[in-house]
Amino acid sequence: MTAALSSEADSEIDISNWGSRYALDVIGLAGFGKDFGAIKNESNSLVKAFHSMFHVTKQKRVLFFLGSLLPWKLVRKLPLKHNKEFSGAIQTIRRSCQTIIEEKRAISTGRSIQDTDFLSIAMGNGLFSDEGLIDQVMTFLAAGHETTASVLTWAIYVLALNPKIQQQLRDEIRNNLEPLHAGSDYSSESISRLPFLYAVCNEVLRMFTPVRLTMREATRDTFLQDIAIPRGTKIMISSCATNMDKSLWGPDATEFNPHRWLNVDSEGKLKVNSGGGAGSNYAMLTFLQGHRICVGQGFARAEFACMLAGWVGRFEFVMKNEDMADMNKIKIASGITVKPANGMRVSVRPVSGY
């Protein structure tokens, strides 16, 4: 990864593209013990399949809208180009997942699976059929790859706009983590000891939640304040609206301020403030809350923090395009995840001494 980015040094790169491939490789290694090679090979069939699934077009936006009104099974049967491409991408991803499972099973033949990745654990408990395993792997890949790529893209964007915050984060990373080329690995435990990294990650997750809308269905007749909600009513929940609500987060709710997640103790050391200054956990809906909270939240947070630490510790990111400094001018591709429609080009250069 470092070598690949270093080859692009001092030039503008599309961090959205790199982030997507980076996230795919990381989740492959962490989730399945498999290096997909997405960073080394942009023409990788899995990279192309996910790009086909998540790349937003006008036709996809129309289908997303229809899907909110009609059963998805009906929408998927419409004879449209997108449906054909989507079906092909699904088949490619499904074949790749089947190959991963077969390779894992071949390695483990005659011995118990000792690995601690997601797939090894799922195979070891014997609860899933092969088809069930494939479905689980596909869900894990889709949910953990593109969402992380989205927040990583926005993290680099906002750090490029705030060089002092970027430098403070780099200093914390370098002072507490050995460089990866020294042979050490970043663990969730070592990452958790970096309060400013935690604060930056939380603030990015608050401001740039990758999935802006979630649908829920009322399981019984109820009321929201004075509004009657009959059973079966579909309700759209906007996590980004809640995450940026000034009545919950204060007058600077729309500003990037990692320090809202930090307190200073009596010794002058930074300590994590888990609420970010908001009065309720429900003020932060990036992973939702309650009994339907995202089950992969812990993995997603650790993955994001490790990836960001690896990049910021080694590279400096600069936004040279003044038009991109105003987020309101950035065209958003609002598909399943929130990404810049035209990519996110930033200047990158290695920082010596690490």
What gap in Å lies between CA 354 and CA 163, rounded to an integer? 18
User: CA 99, 101, 105: angle at the middle one, nearest 5?
Assistant: 115
| Amino acid sitting at position 310 | G
**β-bridge partners, 108:** none
Query: For residue 127, how far is the Cα from the chain centroid?
Result: 28
The amino acid at 90: I
Q: Is 294 annotated as a binding residue?
A: yes
Q: DSSP secondary structure string, 14-59?
A: EHHHHHHHHHHHHHHHHHHS----TTT-TT-HHHHHHHHHH---HH
Which DSSP string do the residues of 141-162 spell out, in sequence order?
HHHHHHHHHHHHHHHHHHHHH-
- Extract the runs of DSSP E, i.e. beta strands, from the chain: 11-14, 213-217, 222-224, 227-229, 234-238, 262-264, 270-272, 315-318, 332-334, 338-340, 345-350
Annotated binding-site residue numbers for heme: 294
Annotated binding-site residue numbers: 294
